[in-house]
Amino acid sequence: MGRFLQVTGLAIGLVGLVLQFCISIPASMAAGRSLLGSIVFLFSFFTILTNIGAVLVYTSLLSSTGYAWLPAFAGPKMRAGVAVSITVVFIVYATVLARLWQPQGLFLLCDVLLHYVTPVLFVLWWLVAGADGRTRWSDISRWMLYPVAYLAYALVRAPIAGEVPYPFLDVAKNGPASVAIAALAITALFLVISIIAACIDRGIGHREAKRVR
């Protein structure tokens, strides 16, 4: 089951990312951005970066002999961290972003793949085969570096590029107080999901230990 979810998740993740790239870059250039600017803008989305992380985790564990193709993404702590991040992608999109625009055609397909299908598949894979009980509470602080670094990047880039990847990060339009509240809310959500993930992983570890006995 774990192998099936891994291969399926990898295939769907790659299709979603490649298709998103192929349709977004021309649309972005048509909106006035340069090729480089369009690429940078696409890779400024938390969703894109996190889905890339999921694909790299899957890829790192493809070898049937247990060899890690990409050691940095093969470890249990990275697997758990990506599971947390992609869960946040699902929740924030489903509760906040989905109602802000109505994509059509291939854009809708990409939205469904990258915001719903890949998160569900990755979390299921992690629960079945990725979690192994080696997560520590101290790992949460490492996982938190990713959203904090991303928020810092998005906010610093905004006045320079004159654009933001997500509407709730637009200081010019919403004001600093509103953006600060949104950033704190997302950070708090990330922290809560991280604690839940750590508890689940530790629970799986204890269950496996009892089986061995």
% of the chain beyond a pLDDT of 70: 93
Res 200 pLDDT > 90: yes
| Digit-coded pLDDT (tens) for 25-41 | 999 999 999 999 999 99
pLDDT digits (tens, 9 = 90+) for 143-170: 999 999 999 999 999 999 889 999 999 9
pLDDT tens track for 1-22: 888 999 999 999 999 999 999 9
Dihedral of CA 94/97/103/105: which sign? negative
d(CA 49, CA 46): 5
Alpha carbon of residue 40 to chain centroid: 17
Q: Print burial letters for 15-50: b (CB count within 10 Å at least 16), e (below 16).
A: bbbebbbeebbeebeeeebeeeebbebbebbbbbeb
Structure tokens at 10: 């990898």
Question: What helix, strand, coil percent values describe the chain, rounded to 5?
Answer: 80, 0, 20
The pTM of this model reads 0.92
Coil/strand/helix, residue 145: helix
